[in-house]
Structure 1
Amino acid sequence: MAWEVREARDEHDVRRCWPVFRELRENITVEDDFVDRWKRQRDEGYRIVFIERAGEVQAVGGFRILHSMAWGRFLYLDDLAALTDQHGAGLGTAILRFVQDEARREGCAAVHLDTGYQRHRAHKAYLRNGFILNTHHLVWEVDGA
């Protein structure tokens, strides 16, 4: 089935995406905090896309176009999720294809993303959609932040 991927155009659309983001980003527990983060990230070029069925958002993606010395111009996929009961329905693949097409339209050299080691099902989906494992992402956390 061909899923229609739509871009969130305003705060109303973004709030409709909250139930899916809540499943992915357990560190964000309040919808208003999610919207505040979106507003800050939107100013940095972050965009949200979504798929809905029967008027309810079922899957989301969040991305931005960046430049770096290492990779040149690239699309970074910050977020990709579907409601748990929709896993395996092809929604994530539809959003990945949309993002890949957007990278081509934007003149990017690649799509990059980070994923947790424990997300085995997601890894399989990424590999199935042409991604390769090629780096480790390391973090140093500031005390008290």
Structure 2
Amino acid sequence: MKMIAVAETDDEIQNCYAVMAELRPHIKAGEFLPKVKRQAENSGYELAYLTDGEVKAVVGFRISEWLSGGKYLEIEDLVAKSGERSKGYGGELFDWLVEYAGENNCDHIRLVSHVKRFSAHRFYLQKRMDIQAHYFSMNLKG
């Protein structure tokens, strides 16, 4: 039976690792739990997951606020398990986030997607998201 939940316990967070590692392979298994917990404490990062017998999709997000745009939910990581993509799991998790954002009085949802992730762009556009800005970054560590 499908279920979506926020990962609250160490075990629930760690159970999200294998799917998240497909999107973030640079994060080692032993680093995952401490990173998630540190980000949760420092900036409100949360993980939610969809299970259907096992974890099928994971999303990392946080709720914050900007002077210019009000309160928002920012999606940082959204990934469905390899071999399980195009089965609607990511879409269900996204739709759950929309409800969650509304329940938390957010004015909008936002995310950053790498410029070359064309299938992700199609997905977000199909979910009625708009491209509203350019995102700039500067690597400070080589």
TM-score range normalised by the length of the shorter chain: over 0.9
Match of 2:118 among 117, 120, 142: 120
Residues matched between the structures, number: 141
Query: What displacement does 1:3 show?
Result: 4.2
Percent of pairs with identical residues:
27
Query: What displacement does 1:59 show?
Result: 0.3
1:77-108 CA distance string (max 9 Å, x none): 11100112111000111111111111111111
> Partner of 2:31: helix, strand, or coil?
helix
Measured in 1, the distance between the counterparts of 2:74 and 2:46 equals 11
> Partner of 2:3: helix, strand, or coil?
coil
> Partner of 1:85: helix, strand, or coil?
coil
Counterpart in the other structure of 1:130: 128
Counterpart in the other structure of 2:48: 49
1:19-30 alignment, distance < 5 Å: 19-28=18-27, 30=28
Unpaired runs of at least 5, structure 1: none
The 8 Å contact of residues 3 and 91 in structure 1, kept in 2 or not, is answered as: no
RMSD over equivalenced CA pairs, Å: 1.4
Measured in 2, the distance between the counterparts of 1:77 and 1:68 equals 15
> Partner of 1:131: helix, strand, or coil?
coil
Counterpart in the other structure of 2:31: 33
The 8 Å contact of residues 62 and 80 in structure 1, kept in 2 or not, is answered as: yes
Measured in 1, the distance between the counterparts of 2:34 and 2:51 equals 23
1:28-107 alignment, distance < 5 Å: 28=27, 30-43=28-41, 44-54=43-53, 56-107=54-105
TM-score, length of structure 2 as denominator length: 0.93
1:9-20 alignment, distance < 5 Å: 9-20=8-19
The 8 Å contact of residues 21 and 81 in structure 1, kept in 2 or not, is answered as: yes
Query: What displacement does 1:45 show?
Result: 1.2
1:96-136 CA distance string (max 9 Å, x none): 11111111111111000000122111111111111111111
Unpaired runs of at least 5, structure 2: none
